[in-house]
Amino acid sequence: MSTRAPDRRPPDRGFAAELRDAVTLRSFALVSGVLLLQFGFILSYIGAFHSPTPHRIPVAVVAPPAVAGQAVAQVNALTGRPLKARTAPGAQQARRDILHRDVDAAIIVDPRGGTDTLLVASAAGPALAGTATDVAHRLETARGRQVTVVDIRPPGPKDGRGLSSFYLVIGWVVGGYLAAAILAVAGGARPGNARHTVIRLGALALYSVVSGLGGALIAGPLLGALPGHFFPVWGIGALVVFAAAAATAALQTLFGLVGIGLAILLFVVLGNPSAGGAYPVALLPPFWRAIGGWLPTGAATTAVRNTVYFSGNATAHALWVLAGWALAGAVVALAVSALRPRAPAPAEGIASARGG
């Protein structure tokens, strides 16, 4: 005689109940946040890059005193105001102004001939140099003159289109916020106390030093894309990685796991298209042009590019921005974790329950 084994399958609870278990309210809210972040990514990148337009690119004009004012007025009167001109006393001063990053280009007027000279530095961004060249050609053609373009500081032979600085910084920034995010996932988005936060920030600082070193080695000695200036580039790398990591840690301390999404919003959705990498800041729409220099990606791109190609000129603002993000992130993370009420220890909880 055979006995039938009892059916041990769980009872069918119905589709609605299974759906509630599979997609909780919390998971639905998080996925909705990801969807909004995705739409923001698309809007930010297409919005920044769909129609690059020059806006008051600073240029120097070198011309005899009798015609200098007229030449500057003609440049500034161009439709759409693509250039913002000022006079320079001579060609050598105009070159220095470009290399010091006071202007992006210079027009040298030759009153004795029919050809003027345009000085550019495409290492600051080939798209910017190309735009200045196009505008100069239109201007000179309207005046019945020709223009010769001279690139006084092109990108290095292994720095394709001068974008290596930008891509190096993207790698550093991504590493910074991912390292902070991984520590949050592994040990809790909100550290239990200030001591935990100090330890976490210390680990992120060590990671930043190693990350900056690795990036400088890859971009410099290994690939030759950004040769020379190894130690300054390493220092910038360590600073930008820690700035991204500390800011992410602060956002996580304030908002929990949602802080990771906010970090991606700042550093990727807004930071990358406004950084002056693919298109220099002067070609971006007003919103991206306004925020680019105040976010770590844009500040670090400027700092690396100007260190490698322009002898460190015009890097002070960028370095102060990076230091500000690093300091503010660390201070906020420490302050919030120190002020948050501590959860009772297990033993304290048991004693309280017995006393009650």
Query: Please, are residues 215 and 168 in contact by the beta-carbon 8 Å criterion?
Result: yes
The domain total for the chain is 2
Query: Please, are residues 76 and 83 in contact by the beta-carbon 8 Å criterion?
Result: yes
Instruction: Please report whether residue 32 resides in a domain.
Output: no
* Positions of the chain with pLDDT under 50: 346-356
Q: Which amino acid is at 205?
A: A
Say yes or no: 210 and 259 in one domain. Answer: yes
Q: Which of 213, 230, 242 is nearest to 300 (CA)?
A: 242
Say yes or no: 124 and 173 in one domain. Answer: no
List Cα–Cα distances, 355 to 98, 159, 342, 343, 349, in angstroms: 76, 71, 20, 18, 10
Say yes or no: 147 and 190 in one domain. Answer: no
Cα-Cα-Cα-Cα torsion 35, 38, 44, 47, nearest 10 degrees, comes to -90
Say yes or no: 114 and 201 in one domain. Answer: no
Residue with tokens 């399958």: 9
Residue with tokens 């201070």: 331
∠ Cα 8 12 15 (to 5°): 150
Q: Which residues contact 126 (CB under 8 A, 6 or more apart)?
A: 155, 161, 162
Span 294-317, pLDDT tens digits: 999 999 999 999 999 999 999 999
Interhelix angle 296-309/316-339, nearest 10 degrees: 150
Among 123, 151, 179, the domain-final residue is 151
Say yes or no: 229 and 140 in one domain. Answer: no
Among 127, 151, 175, the domain-final residue is 151
Task: Tell me what pLDDT residue 301 has.
Answer: 96
Instruction: Please report whether residue 80 resides in a domain.
Output: yes
List Cα–Cα distances, 250 to 212, 254, 269, 339, in angstroms: 21, 6, 19, 13
Say yes or no: 213 and 132 in one domain. Answer: no
**DSSP strand pairing (105-108 vs 57-62):** parallel
Task: Tell me what pLDDT residue 352 has.
Answer: 44
Cα–Cα dist 149/145, whole Å: 13
Say yes or no: 124 and 269 in one domain. Answer: no
Q: Which residues contact 259 (CB under 8 A, 6 or more apart)?
A: 184, 189, 248, 250, 251, 252, 253
**In Å, how far from its chain's centre is CA 251?**
18
Kindly provide the residue ranges of all beta strands, DSSP E only, lying in the chain, ordered along the sequence: 57-62, 83-87, 105-108, 115-120, 146-151
Task: Tell me what pLDDT residue 131 has.
Answer: 87
Say yes or no: 221 and 113 in one domain. Answer: no
Task: Tell me what pLDDT residue 194 has.
Answer: 80
Say yes or no: 135 and 205 in one domain. Answer: no
Instruction: Please report whether residue 13 resides in a domain.
Output: no
Q: What is the DSSP string of 278-316?
A: SS-GGGS-HHHHHHGGGSHHHHHHHHHHHHHHSTTTT-H
Instruction: Please report whether residue 50 resides in a domain.
Output: no
∠ Cα 138 57 130 (to 5°): 55
Say yes or no: 233 and 308 in one domain. Answer: yes
Cα–Cα dist 242/249, whole Å: 10
Interhelix angle 230-255/316-339, nearest 10 degrees: 30
Say yes or no: 250 and 313 in one domain. Answer: yes
Instruction: Please report whether residue 40 resides in a domain.
Output: no
- Domain housing 97: 57-151
Cα-Cα-Cα-Cα torsion 274, 279, 283, 289, nearest 10 degrees, comes to 10
Among 124, 151, 178, the domain-final residue is 151
Task: Tell me what pLDDT residue 167 has.
Answer: 96
Say yes or no: 127 and 272 in one domain. Answer: no
pTM of the full structure: 0.86
